């Protein structure tokens, strides 16, 4: 890629309005004990779980841009939603509080009997909560729309963020994460062959896909799906990446990026812990003092452990595991019930 073109895209990314919550790069840390136990490549953690504001997570990166856009549009209320244990809703409530906005959280399903994990933190952060009383996850989408209309009718100014925060503007924040990570890799003298992450709504994977294409990173992207079937997750990521590219007026060849989405580690469903995920969480905590989570990163690490045990990644010198956060979900009854 021509250098001048790359710096033009870089400049367009830098010109996006942001709250500037993300001022410093998150740590890129070697995991010596896990690497030794699993054999093969050196494993590195990119610690986006440590992003500042309300317990961090990848969602803080996206909200840095999304909430700046809300303020620019003169909004006074952020409306978003997902399940009650959502990291995205918790992070939204935190960033909204910081930005002086109200936050309305629309959760699918019934109000749980026990307020736990992110639901508890979201309450602490002062969000107004609503439940759709419908187990269909898409009911939160309709709920967000209805809540925004109602807020508007009351003379306030709502700004809706799609369920789980998966949108093109949010994806652009993860393009910046790719640039940041490439700089760190250069300083450390490492060349990860693979970047591995969990994929849910796919905004994060979309950003990494676009960033990988824009900056010519030589790695393969691998994602472990934790909600929808792998082909659907991949299609969503590609679609969001193309939308995000259009927002900064570029059209890189996304098809040139190696990308694989793995099925097979979801277990009984989204947000339901698996024994393999729990095993990965325990092993990572005991080897590295790092907490993964039961919904996303634990399942992604379970995927890596399984694939590694089957002899994959033998050709890779280094693998980068994107730690997207989610530890508040460890403090839930579903995890406590695990053996």
Ligand X SMILES: *Cc1c(COP(=O)(O)O)cnc(C)c1O
Which tokens sit at 295? 């919904």
Other residues' Cβ atoms within 10 Å of the Cβ of residue 135: 9
Shortest distance in whole angstroms from residue 60 CB to ligand X: 10
Residue 158: closest CA among 98, 91, 104: 104
Task: Tell me the residue nearest to ligand X as measured from the CB.
Answer: 326
Shortest distance in whole angstroms from residue 168 CB to ligand X: 12
Q: Give 284 or 297: the residue with its C-beta nearer to ligand X.
A: 297
Instruction: Assess contact for 19 and 92: CB atoms under 8 A.
Output: no
**How wide is the angle at C-alpha 277 spanned by C-alphas 119 and 230, nearest 5°?**
90
Q: Please choose, out of 5-13, 192-200, 261-269, 276-284, the segment that lies near ligand X by the rule CB under 6 A.
A: 192-200
Q: Does 273 bind ligand X (CB under 6 A)?
A: no
Q: Which DSSP state fits 291? A: -
Q: Does 201 bind ligand X (CB under 6 A)?
A: yes
Shortest distance in whole angstroms from residue 246 CB to ligand X: 19
Q: Does 294 bind ligand X (CB under 6 A)?
A: no
Residue 46: closest CA among 58, 35, 36: 58
Judged by CB under 6 A, which of 101, 125, 127, 205 binds ligand X? 205
Contacts of 323 (CB under 8 A, 6+ apart): 45, 46, 47, 48, 49, 290, 292, 297
Judged by CB under 6 A, which of 51, 129, 140, 166 binds ligand X? 166
Which backbone phi and psi does 267 adopt, to 5 degrees? 75, -140
Shortest distance in whole angstroms from residue 26 CB to ligand X: 13
Beta-bridge partner residues of 279:
none
Q: Does 199 bind ligand X (CB under 6 A)?
A: yes
Q: Please choose, out of 2-10, 21-29, 303-311, 320-328, the segment that lies near ligand X by the rule CB under 6 A.
A: 320-328
Instruction: Assess contact for 196 and 95: CB atoms under 8 A.
Output: no
Judged by CB under 6 A, which of 93, 148, 198, 259 binds ligand X? 198
Contacts of 310 (CB under 8 A, 6+ apart): none
Q: Give 236 or 308: the residue with its C-beta nearer to ligand X.
A: 236
Judged by CB under 6 A, which of 35, 55, 58, 278 binds ligand X? 58
For tokens 């504001």, name the residue.
Answer: 53
Contacts of 280 (CB under 8 A, 6+ apart): 292, 298, 299, 301, 302, 304, 305
DSSP, collapsed to helix, strand or coil, labels residue 81 as strand
Instruction: Assess contact for 164 and 137: CB atoms under 8 A.
Output: no
Shortest distance in whole angstroms from residue 200 CB to ligand X: 3
Shortest distance in whole angstroms from residue 87 CB to ligand X: 3
The span from the CA of 66 to the CA of 50, in Å, is: 19
Active site residues: 86
Q: Give 35 or 225: the residue with its C-beta nearer to ligand X.
A: 225
Instruction: Assess contact for 293 and 329: CB atoms under 8 A.
Output: yes
The span from the CA of 19 to the CA of 94, in Å, is: 13
Q: Does 84 bind ligand X (CB under 6 A)?
A: no
Judged by CB under 6 A, which of 56, 84, 162, 203 binds ligand X? 203
Judged by CB under 6 A, which of 84, 117, 164, 303 binds ligand X? 164
Judged by CB under 6 A, which of 107, 108, 296, 313 binds ligand X? 296
C-alpha separations of 254 from 27, 102, 180, 295 in Å? 27, 37, 20, 28
Q: Please choose, out of 55-63, 185-193, 214-222, 245-253, the segment that lies near ligand X by the rule CB under 6 A.
A: 55-63
Q: Does 122 bind ligand X (CB under 6 A)?
A: no
Q: Does 202 bind ligand X (CB under 6 A)?
A: yes
Shortest distance in whole angstroms from residue 205 CB to ligand X: 6
Q: Give 198 or 318: the residue with its C-beta nearer to ligand X.
A: 198
Contacts with ligand X by CB under 6 A lie at 57-59, 87-88, 164, 166, 198-205, 293, 296-297, 324-326
């Amino acid at each position: 890629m021509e250098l001048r073109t790359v710096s033009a895209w870089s400049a367009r990314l830098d010109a996006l309005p942001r709250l500037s919550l993300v001022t410093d790069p998150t740590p890129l840390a070697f995991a010596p004990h896990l690497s030794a136990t699993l054999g093969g490549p050196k494993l590195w953690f990119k610690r986006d779980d440590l992003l500042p504001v309300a317990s961090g997570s990848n969602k803080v990166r996206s909200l840095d841009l999304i909430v700046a856009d809300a303020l620019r549009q003169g909004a006074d209320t952020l409306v978003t939603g997902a399940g009650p244990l959502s990291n995205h809703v918790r992070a939204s409530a935190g960033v909204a509080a910081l930005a002086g906005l109200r936050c309305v959280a629309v959760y699918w399903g019934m109000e749980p009997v026990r307020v736990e994990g992110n639901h508890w933190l979201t309450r602490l952060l002062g969000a107004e909560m609503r439940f759709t009383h419908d187990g269909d996850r898409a009911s939160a989408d309709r709920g967000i729309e209805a809540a925004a209309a109602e807020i508007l009718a009351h003379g306030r100014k709502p700004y809706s963020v799609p369920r789980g925060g998966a949108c093109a503007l949010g994806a652009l924040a993860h393009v910046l994460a790719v640039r940041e990570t490439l700089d760190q890799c250069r300083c450390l003298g490492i060349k990860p062959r693979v970047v591995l992450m969990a994929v849910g709504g796919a905004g994060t994977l979309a950003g990494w896909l676009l960033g990988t294409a824009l900056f010519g990173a030589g790695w393969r992207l691998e994602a472990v799906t934790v909600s929808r079937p792998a082909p659907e997750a991949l299609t969503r990521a590609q679609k969001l990446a193309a939308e995000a590219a259009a927002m900064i007026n570029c059209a890189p060849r996304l098809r040139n990026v190696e990308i694989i989405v793995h099925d097979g580690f979801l277990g009984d469903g989204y947000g339901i812990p698996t024994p393999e995920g729990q095993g990965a969480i325990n092993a990572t905590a005991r080897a590295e003092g790092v907490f993964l989570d039961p919904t996303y990163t634990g399942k992604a690490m379970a995927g890596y452990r399984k694939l590694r045990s089957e002899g994959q990644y033998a050709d890779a010198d280094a693998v980068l595991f994107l730690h997207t956060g989610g530890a508040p979900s460890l403090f839930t009854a579903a995890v406590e019930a695990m053996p």
